[in-house]
Amino acid sequence: MATALITGASNGIGLELAKVHASKGDNLVLVARNKSKLDELKSELEKQYKITVYTIGKDLSAQNAAQEVYEETTKQNIQIDYLINNAGFGDFGMFVETDWNKELQMINLNITTLTQFTKLYLQDMLKRRSGKIMNVASTAAFQSGPTMAVYYATKAYVLSFSEAVDNEVSDKGVTVTTLCPGATKSGFQAAAAMEESNLVKGKKLPTSKEVAEYGYNAMMKGKTVAIHGLLNWIMANSVRFTPRAIVVKLTRKIQDKAN
């Protein structure tokens, strides 16, 4: 029986990914700050699917959080077959006005912790010559993003890093998939204070469940880059053929607050 480690599993896409893996008979290691929420999910999934769920309450924006989680799973003799780096958050506003401490936490979580998790568990996977990793980026990864400058830059890192590592290991029995959802119905927008942006306000957004199911299937197929939704795929790929100055202006228009 395989085991999946999922970060940011207390809500949104992470929670739905936990449900998908549980429904396939996978045991789970769930990591998030809110341990009580994870424990509620543990009870629900163990009862429904007869699997084993191990929960870890951890602020993953803290230094060496990934190392601490890795040491705990090693101590518990839990082999991680699927690593899903889903935890992440954004912030909305002009860079000069946004809060530096929040941005530092964002960089630590979206970039540093994700990278360290990947390094630690990848080494074990390569020894076994089996395993799958999914790093959750965003369609934001394909261009710069005025009013969410740091968030877009962190997701560009995730995409570039993950593609490179997948190339290094795909002939060694391990794959790295980058999941790139567009705007999704989840708690992300509220956390990023962007409910009033043109990107979100009044739009019918895909659900976290739809994105999670798509991501699971992409990871299992070993797809390198998985962009959810045809329109998102077209937009992400069209930026390659459009001058960057135009792309950044269009992104600003989409991101700005709706009138």
**Which residues form the catalytic set?**
151
Q: At what angle do helices 65-75 and 114-128 cross, to 10 degrees?
A: 30
DSSP 44-67: HHHHHH---EEEEE--TTSTTHHH
Sign of CA pseudo-dihedral 71, 77, 81, 84: negative
Which run of H or of E encompasses 29?
strand 27-32
> DSSP class of residue 4?
E
Residue 4's DSSP bridge partners are 28, 82
Contact, 38 vs 30, CB < 8 A?
Answer: yes
> DSSP class of residue 129?
T
Our separate counts of H helices and E strands in the chain read: 10, 7
Cα gap 163→197, rounded to integer Å: 30
